[in-house]
């Protein structure tokens, strides 16, 4: 499953003061803050967390990536330490997290800076999930409509879901024998999020493709995740700040990191299906 990692860079606000107009202005360097980014699930046998740091407006230029943090994961009983993978610029822990468990990720830097975030993994329960795929053919073009249905968990309350759908295929140049790997996200082109009621209600989301080349081998990948509330709030702020233009940016993103920025959240993966559309 493709997950896209969001690197949050926040500028620190500097304050200055003066007693009179002709006095010298004393400007202090703002402290760089730690940024934590990671999503954990019982479906994976590893946990990956990215650690960055903000760049102060004034002062020494800092590397965005933090490579010397002591990063730990604790469930209140056991504490494990991450290893840093330089090739991927990510901290990794070879451990499968448990469902319905609260975990705390804490980063400590040699200079004394620290940041931490906690999240509780959702329960692992079966979902009644179905989907339908319809298509409209117009000459050499074809358009797909995908409808995903599932039943909200009962008697669970405060359930949150994230869905998306992607289509991918290869385009081969017969003259040069080169190929291009194409991935297109179906409309809406950012993930949909839903809040359940815990009353065994039916939930539905619809995705549509652009008009694609008809005679090309294509595959569809569907994603249905049950996410925790922090993940939901994070996606909610992403969605509310999406401008719809190619050159967009996010602002005021939700963060659950203490003494820093970023997001550490959890989810359960219920479906990830490469479906042949040929």
CB distance 91 to 232 below 8 Å: no
Those residues whose C-beta lies under 8 Å from the C-beta of residue 23, and which sit 6 or more positions away, are: none
- Write down the pLDDT at residue 7: 36
Residue 102: inside a domain: no
Dist CA 20 CA 114 (whole Å): 37
Question: Do strands 141-151 and 212-213 pair parallel, antiparallel, or not at all (unpaired)?
Answer: antiparallel
Residue 183: inside a domain: yes
Q: Which domain holds residue 226?
A: 129-239+267-276
Residue 80: inside a domain: no
Positions of E strands within 41-113: 47-53, 70-74, 79-81, 83-85, 90-93, 102-108
Residue 136: inside a domain: yes
Residue 74: inside a domain: no
Residue 160: inside a domain: yes
Which three-class secondary structure state does DSSP give residue 43? coil
Residue 105: inside a domain: no
Which three-class secondary structure state does DSSP give residue 48? strand
Q: Could you give phi then psi for residue 219, rounded to 5 degrees?
A: -135, 145
For residue 177, give the CATH number of its domain: 2.60.40
**DSSP at 13:** P
- Of 118, 123, 147, 127, nearest to 135 by C-alpha is 147
Instruction: Give this prediction's pTM.
Output: 0.81
Dist CA 34 CA 43 (whole Å): 27
Dist CA 205 CA 218 (whole Å): 21
Dist CA 66 CA 197 (whole Å): 40
- Write down the pLDDT at residue 57: 66
Q: Could you give phi then psi for residue 99, rounded to 5 degrees?
A: -75, 160
DSSP β-bridge partners for residue 108:
70, 114
Residue 166: inside a domain: yes
Count of domains observed in the chain = 1
Strand ranges across the sheet with 102-108: 79-81, 70-74, 102-108, 114-120
Those residues whose C-beta lies under 8 Å from the C-beta of residue 174, and which sit 6 or more positions away, are: none
- Write down the pLDDT at residue 81: 98
pLDDT tens digit at each of 278 positions of the chain: 433 333 333 333 323 333 344 445 554 557 899 999 999 999 999 999 999 999 876 667 888 999 999 999 999 999 999 999 999 999 999 999 999 999 999 999 999 999 999 999 988 888 888 999 999 999 889 999 999 999 998 777 789 999 998 888 776 666 666 666 666 767 766 679 999 988 888 999 999 988 888 877 888 889 999 999 999 999 998 877 755 544 444 457 899 999 999 999 999 999 888 888 87
Which three-class secondary structure state does DSSP give residue 24? coil
Dist CA 27 CA 179 (whole Å): 55
User: What is the C-alpha R_g of the chain?
Assistant: 23
- Write down the pLDDT at residue 132: 93
- Write down the pLDDT at residue 3: 36
- Write down the pLDDT at residue 8: 36
Whole-number Cα distances in Å, 122 to 66, 98, 128, 160: 29, 9, 17, 9
């Amino acid at each position: 499953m493709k997950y896209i990692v969001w690197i949050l860079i926040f500028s620190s606000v500097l304050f200055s003061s003066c007693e009179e107009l002709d006095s010298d202005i004393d400007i202090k360097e703002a402290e760089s803050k730690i940024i934590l980014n990671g999503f954990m699930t019982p479906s994976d046998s590893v946990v990956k967390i990215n650690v960055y740091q903000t760049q102060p407006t004034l002062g020494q230029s800092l590397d965005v990536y933090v490579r010397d943090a002591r990063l730990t994961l604790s469930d209140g009983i056991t504490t494990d330490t991450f290893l840093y993978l330089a090739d991927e610029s990510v901290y990794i822990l070879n451990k499968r997290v448990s469902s319905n468990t609260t975990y705390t990720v804490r980063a400590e830097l040699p200079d004394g800076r620290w940041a931490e975030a906690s999240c509780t993994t959702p329960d692992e329960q079966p979902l009644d999930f179905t989907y339908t795929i319809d298509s409209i053919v117009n000459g050499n073009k074809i358009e797909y409509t995908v409808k995903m249905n599932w039943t909200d968990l009962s008697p669970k309350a405060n359930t949150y879901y994230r869905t998306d759908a992607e289509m991918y295929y290869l385009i081969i140049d017969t003259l040069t024998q080169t190929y291009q790997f194409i991935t297109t996200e179906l409309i809406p082109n950012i993930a949909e999020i839903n809040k359940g009621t815990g009353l065994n209600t039916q939930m539905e989301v619809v995705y549509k493709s652009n008009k694609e080349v008809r005679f090309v081998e294509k595959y569809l990948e569907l994603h249905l995740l049950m996410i925790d509330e922090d993940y939901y709030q994070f996606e909610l702020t992403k969605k509310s700040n999406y401008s719809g233009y190619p050159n967009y940016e996010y602002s005021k993103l939700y963060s659950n990191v203490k003494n820093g920025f970023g997001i550490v959240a959890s989810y359960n993966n219920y479906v990830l299906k490469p479906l042949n559309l040929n």
